Amino acid sequence: MSEIVIAPINFSNPELIEKILSELKKYLPYKINLQPLQIDLNFAYSIERGQYYSTKIIQHLLPFSENINGKFLALLEVDLFIPVFTYVFGEAQLNGKVSIVSLTRLHEEFYSGISDEKLLIERSVKEILHELGHNFGLIHCKDWDCVMHSSLGIEEVDIKGIDYCSNCKRMIRL
């Protein structure tokens, strides 16, 4: 494990990405490389739901991870779903190399109409660490101070801690 590639897909705001990465670096002792990509995501779009099928996007991204000795996490600005849920913040291959996180529902505007960049960055870092945790082989943690606690709604993202608990850290040797 030598690197983590963060791939913003079709992203309009490189400054936001830089801010997220500099926060992320505080929690991960790995080299983090940025690889912005332009990918047509139409194949994953559901007309009925007006959302993008997360699992299909992960499948599509697998080839991008082949030459990476580490993990590949894509950041998206489109709303994601898997069939059993109305939406997901992200999805990861458990013990695999690829994960994705959508920022759509991490924006405070989405809920209150008021923009809050600091909160957006904190939520993004939490969800990135969470999905990478699944890539590292971690399952959901009962500890609310742990970033591996499950979060079905944004309140739960805000309540849980931003770092891995000592137990989870030990399991992934952080």
Q: Is 148 in the site for Zn ion (CB under 5 A)?
A: yes
Query: How far is Cα 86 from Cα 80, in angstroms, rounded to an integer?
Result: 9
- Only one of the segments 56-64, 94-102, 113-121, 134-142 lies at the binding site for Zn ion (rule: CB under 5 A); that segment is 134-142
Residue 131 among the catalytic residues: yes
- Closest CB to Zn ion among residues 16, 141: 141
Q: Which residues contact 77 (CB under 8 A, 6 or more apart)?
A: 9, 10, 11, 12, 102, 103, 104
* Strand 51-53 versus strand 45-46 pairing type: antiparallel
CB of 38 to Zn ion, least distance (A): 28
Binder among 73, 141, 157, 160 for Zn ion (CB under 5 A): 141
CA distances from 137 to 40, 64, 103, 106, 166 (A): 29, 20, 23, 24, 15
Q: Is 21 in the site for Zn ion (CB under 5 A)?
A: no
90 in Cβ contact with 100 (< 8 Å): yes
- Closest CB to Zn ion among residues 37, 94: 94
Q: Of 48, 77, 131, 155, which one is the catalytic site residue?
A: 131
Q: Is 76 in the site for Zn ion (CB under 5 A)?
A: no
Query: How far is Cα 77 from Cα 51, in angstroms, rounded to an integer?
Result: 11
Binder among 129, 146, 157, 160 for Zn ion (CB under 5 A): 146
CB of 124 to Zn ion, least distance (A): 15
**Residues involved in catalysis:** 131
Kindly list the residues in this chain that would bind Zn ion in the complex (CB under 5 A).
141, 143, 146, 148, 165, 168
